[in-house]
């Protein structure tokens, strides 16, 4: 079983290990290097649109991304700081739950492709939808996951385009709100629910979707296909 989750835009400047990224023997080093070379082709005047920030900050992020192979690393689960990860609360998980996550959880990344929670990575900033990176990673990640089953897909739509799922093996899980009979994505709050759900399945060693029904959070309940909350 594998559980696919997104990265976060927010990153912590945590205490790095002694290893730099080029020394980690990362499985997807070659396609990562291809992404870095692709970034080198971007003109400075286009950096603001690529990184979605001021020209000065964009240039800093760009240089950081280009130098990742010479940068110190920290485990991915400690690097990411977004809402999903705040609600996973890695530091407070039991050791058994941490082992569960490192065995079953895969983090999709625009720069690194696919990570485990304990994969050492440097600080970076690059979204999956920048430069259509989901298409770059699709054949690579599809091949890497082709023999995995079952796969629980907790990814947002843009990350789902980074691999080709075998519908027989993959269960996509969404977090939805029903208002006036219409289902819509739970949005930002859905990230919190997703993080709580990941924590729940890790702490309870869940390996079967039938056991998803035991999870409820802020009105979200499993209906056999998605986590649904009735709106006001």
Residue 67, domain member (yes or no): no
Non-local (6+) Cβ contacts of 111 within 8 A are: 32, 35, 65, 68, 124, 126, 133
Handedness of CA 133, 139, 141, 142 (dihedral sign): positive
Dist. CA 151–CA 168, nearest whole Å? 10
Residue with tokens 């440097």: 122
Summarised one tens digit per residue, pLDDT across range 115-149 is 999 999 999 999 999 899 999 999 999 999 999 99
**Tokens found for residue 231:** 């709106």
Using pLDDT thresholds of 50, 70 and 90, give the confidence band for residue 180: confident
Question: What is the torsion angle, in degrees rounded to the nearest 10, for the CA atoms of residue 33, residue 34, residue 35 and residue 37?
Answer: 90
Tell me the pLDDT of the chain averaged across its residues: 94
Residue 34, domain member (yes or no): no
Determine if the peptide bond prior to 150 is cis (ω within 30°).
yes
pLDDT value of residue 148:
93
**Tokens found for residue 56:** 């000065």
Residue 41, domain member (yes or no): no
- Percentage with pLDDT > 90 across the chain: 89
Residue 39, domain member (yes or no): no
Summarised one tens digit per residue, pLDDT across range 155-167 is 999 999 999 988 8
Non-local (6+) Cβ contacts of 48 within 8 A are: 54, 55, 58
Residue 189, domain member (yes or no): yes
Using CA atoms, how far residue 155 sits from 32, 126, 170, 191, in Å, is 20, 16, 12, 10
Summarised one tens digit per residue, pLDDT across range 9-54 is 989 887 767 789 999 999 999 999 999 999 999 998 899 999 999 9
Residue 140, domain member (yes or no): yes
Dist. CA 108–CA 159, nearest whole Å? 7
pTM of the model: 0.95
Do you know the residue count of the chain?
232
Q: Is the pLDDT of residue 56 over 70?
A: yes
pLDDT value of residue 13:
80
Q: How many domains does the chain have?
A: 1
Structural domain boundaries enclosing 200? 2-13+75-230
Q: Is the pLDDT of residue 213 over 80?
A: yes
pLDDT value of residue 232:
65
Residue 109, domain member (yes or no): yes
Dist. CA 59–CA 57, nearest whole Å? 5
Q: What angle do CA 210, 82, 190 make, to 5 degrees?
A: 45
What does the radius of gyration of the chain's CA atoms come to, in whole angstroms?
A: 18
pLDDT value of residue 198:
98
* Closest-CA residue to 106 (of 62, 150, 49): 150
* Closest-CA residue to 2 (of 188, 196, 201): 201
Determine phi and psi for 126, rounding to 5 degrees.
-170, 115
């Amino acid at each position: 079983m594998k559980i696919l989750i997104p990265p976060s835009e927010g990153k912590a400047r945590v205490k790095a290990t002694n290893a730099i990224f080029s020394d980690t023997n990362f499985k997807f080093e070659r396609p990562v290097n291809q992404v870095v070379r692709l970034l080198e082709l971007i003109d400075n005047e286009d950096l603001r649109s690529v990184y979605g920030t001021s020209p000065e900050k964009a240039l800093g992020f760009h240089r950081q991304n280009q130098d990742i192979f010479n940068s110190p690393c920290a485990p991915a689960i400690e690097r990411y700081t977004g809402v999903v990860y705040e609600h996973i609360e890695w530091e407070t998980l039991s050791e058994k739950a941490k082992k569960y996550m490192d065995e079953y959880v895969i983090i999709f990344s625009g720069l690194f492709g696919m990570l485990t929670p304990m994969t050492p990575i440097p600080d970076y900033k690059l979204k999956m939808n920048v430069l259509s990176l989901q298409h770059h990673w699709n054949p690579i990640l599809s091949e890497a996951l082709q023999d995995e089953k079952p796969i629980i897909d907790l990814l947002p739509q843009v990350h789902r385009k980074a691999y080709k799922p075998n519908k027989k093996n993959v269960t996509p899980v969404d977090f939805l709100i029903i208002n006036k009979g219409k289902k819509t994505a739970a949005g930002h709050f859905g990230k919190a629910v997703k993080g709580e759900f990941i924590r729940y399945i890790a702490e309870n060693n869940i390996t079967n979707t039938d056991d998803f029904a035991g999870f409820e959070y802020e009105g979200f309940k499993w209906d056999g296909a998605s986590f649904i909350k009735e709106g006001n």
